[in-house]
Every structure is written in C-alpha cells, then in structure tokens.
Amino acid sequence: MLSRTYRLAIAALAFLLVALIGVAVRSGWTAAVDLRLLAAIRHAGGAALRQPVVDLTALGGGTVLVLLNASVILLLWLRRDRVAALRLLGIVLGGRFAVDIVKDVVARARPPALDPAIVLHSWSFPSSHAANATITYLALALIASHGAVPPAERRLLLGLAALLALAIGLSRVWLGVHWPSDVLAGWLFGLGWVALTSTVPVPRR
C-alpha cells in the first residue's frame, strides 16, 4: 500500500488535472481533439459491438452501482465491520455529490445525439459513469485487499478494478454520450477521490 504522502500527492495531481481540463473545456481548447477522438471511437467495430458495449456501460450506471454498494455495505455491516461499511458509504455518496457539483460548475453540453434511443439531458463534464465506476470499483478492490493479502493479489484486484473503470469510460464515448475529455476527467476525479479518502485514518478490525 502506498504511503499517506504518496496518496495525497496522487489526489492533488489528479484534482489539478481535472481542474486544468475543466478550464480547457470551458475555453474551447479541447474541441478539436474531442471531435477527432469521438469520431474515431464512436461506434468503432460496427453494430456487432453495440450490445456488449451497452451491457458494459450499465456496470457504471446508477442502478448497478447502488445495488453493488448496498450489497457490500450490508455484508460489512452484518460482519460487524461497521466502520468499513460507513466508510464505503461515505466514499461513494461523497464522490457522487462532488461529481454533480463539478458538472454544474463546468456546465458542458453533451455531444450531439445520433441515437434516438439514448438521449441524456444532464451535463457532460465530467463523466459520471467514469468517475463513479472508478470510485466504486477501486474502493471495493481496496476493501477486498485489506489485511493479510499478498501484494501480487492486491495489485491484481486494483488492476482489474482499473481496467473495468477504463472500459466503462470508453463505452460512454463509443455510445456518443460523452466527449473523450469528459471521460478522462471522470477517471482522474475518481482516482483522486479514492486516493484522498483512503488517507483518512479509521480504526479497523
């Protein structure tokens, strides 16, 4: 596990990058790159990938994340690890609330909708799917790897969580509901939030 100082440094760098990307977005500096990347990624691979991508993006949606977090929180509570249960609740709820604040501050419109079946009306920056998936899956990986878990297994859990968050974020661009910079900011915000909240000292069983 990284030291508290390194985790704070990761959080500070991640939030700084989110702020810089937000400024660039508001100033229009990312428009050309976003358009090129969106055109390259959107619907790459053809219609055959649509259902797998839709299934994948659902793993970062509110319904799945709420059910997943609620199940883990309940399990931790029943195992009398109530500090961990409350900590996970605080991490995911606080992260979701913070993402919504950033969305309102930047107030970026979503890409033009090409699929009538997918029309969203919330702000685009940062991607909630990318941010909340990163927060949830990294937090769960940290909980699962707590204690006497070999370093190799801990790295594997964190790596799988990161890969899942990356795939969910890319699915949002593939579906054309987010600009690439939205997703990048979502990943960074999620990473920064987990790094920051993991530095809070709490007693553990």
The 10s digit of each residue's pLDDT in 137-180 is 999 998 887 766 778 888 899 999 999 999 999 999 999 889 99
**How large is the greatest C-alpha to C-alpha distance in the chain, in angstroms?**
52
Distance between CA atoms of 154 and 183, rounded to whole angstroms? Answer: 25
Is residue 203, in this structure, part of any structural domain at all?
no
Is residue 12, in this structure, part of any structural domain at all?
yes
Distance between CA atoms of 25 and 94, rounded to whole angstroms? Answer: 24
The residue with tokens 């990294």 is 138
pTM above 0.75, yes or no: yes
Low-confidence ranges of the chain (pLDDT < 70): 1, 113-121, 147-148, 201-205
Query: How high does pLDDT run on average in the chain?
Result: 88
Is residue 53, in this structure, part of any structural domain at all?
yes
Distance between CA atoms of 147 and 133, rounded to whole angstroms? Answer: 24
What is the number of structural domains in the chain?
Answer: 1
Question: Which of 21, 12, 177 has the alpha carbon at shortest distance from 106?
Answer: 21
Within 10 Å of residue 9's Cβ, how many Cβ atoms? Answer: 13
Is residue 78, in this structure, part of any structural domain at all?
yes
Quick check: bond before 111 cis, omega within 30? no
Is residue 171, in this structure, part of any structural domain at all?
yes
Is residue 174, in this structure, part of any structural domain at all?
yes
- What pLDDT is stored for residue 95 in this prediction? 94
Segments forming the whole domain that contains residue 156: 4-197
Distance between CA atoms of 178 and 73, rounded to whole angstroms? Answer: 30
Is residue 125, in this structure, part of any structural domain at all?
yes
The residue with tokens 């909980």 is 143
Is residue 155, in this structure, part of any structural domain at all?
yes
